[in-house]
Chains A and B, each alone.
Chain A
Amino acid sequence: GESVGLHLPTLSVQEGDNSIINCAYSNSASDYFIWYKQESGKGPQFIIDIRSNMDKRQGQRVTVLLNKTVKHLSLQIAATQPGDSAVYFCAENIRRSGNTPLVFGKGTRLSVIA
């Protein structure tokens, strides 16, 4: 089976409940953030992004919250479904300066209990 994601922090959620996945970023200069979803055996896929001039952005069933004061990002998934089971990564980037590409966090595994 897929060994990627073993030993990652895991969040178990009942189907239909809301999920909150947290991410702490390290670079105070980062001003652009992306959440990715990685299903078993696949590459990561874009979910939603947010710029640092915003503290909240909503998509379809997902909301990203940004707290620059404590360098914290969260992804909220409403009415979690079995298809949401995956590893979720946050990534940070600097829009205006710097020469470092997108930096990924270590990921959180979301397990949906039917």
Chain B
Amino acid sequence: NAGVTQTPKFRVLKTGQSMTLLCAQDMNHEYMYWYRQDPGMGLRLIHYSVGEGTTAKGEVPDGYNVSRLKKQNFLLGLESAAPSQTSVYFCASTQAFRGDNTEAFFGQGTRLTVV
């Protein structure tokens, strides 16, 4: 049982380049999330999805786009990467959105460096 899988694990981009981070979960969870984690900042929510075909903005959505074409996949895109987007990115999924069963299952993270 893989849980939540993120690809790639590491990536170095040049400023202005684009890329897509892929998140896949095999737990049939309805809800998926993308967070970024920076030193001293904890986990900040970028975008989330409450179901296939739906997305919503989180705390820090600027510079990112997402898509949830299939229930098991949640893609995070950077159209024009900036050094400020250097971070560790985590994908997570939950069975529920509020209250009980909101235990989040996280992927291993993607370390992105923009030079």
Residue of B nearest to A94 (CB): B98
Distance to closest chain B CB from A87 (angstroms)? 9
Contact A44 B90, beta carbon cutoff 8 Å = yes
Q: For the complex, what is the distance from the CA of A107 to the CA of B44, rounded to whole Å?
A: 12
Contact A32 B106, beta carbon cutoff 8 Å = no
Tell me which of B4, B88, B107 contacts A4 (CB under 8 A).
B88
Contact A89 B42, beta carbon cutoff 8 Å = yes
9 residue pairs A–B, Cβ–Cβ below 8 Å: A4-B38, A32-B102, A36-B104, A42-B108, A43-B90, A43-B92, A49-B103, A102-B102, A106-B42
B94 at the A/B interface (Cβ < 8 Å)?
yes
Contact A104 B40, beta carbon cutoff 8 Å = no
Contact B102 A34, beta carbon cutoff 8 Å = yes
Distance to closest chain A CB from B88 (angstroms)? 5
A57 at the A/B interface (Cβ < 8 Å)?
no
B48 at the A/B interface (Cβ < 8 Å)?
yes
B100 at the A/B interface (Cβ < 8 Å)?
yes
Interface membership of chain B positions 1-45, coded 1 if the CB is closer than 8 angstroms to chain A and 0 otherwise: 000100000000000000000000000000101010111111101
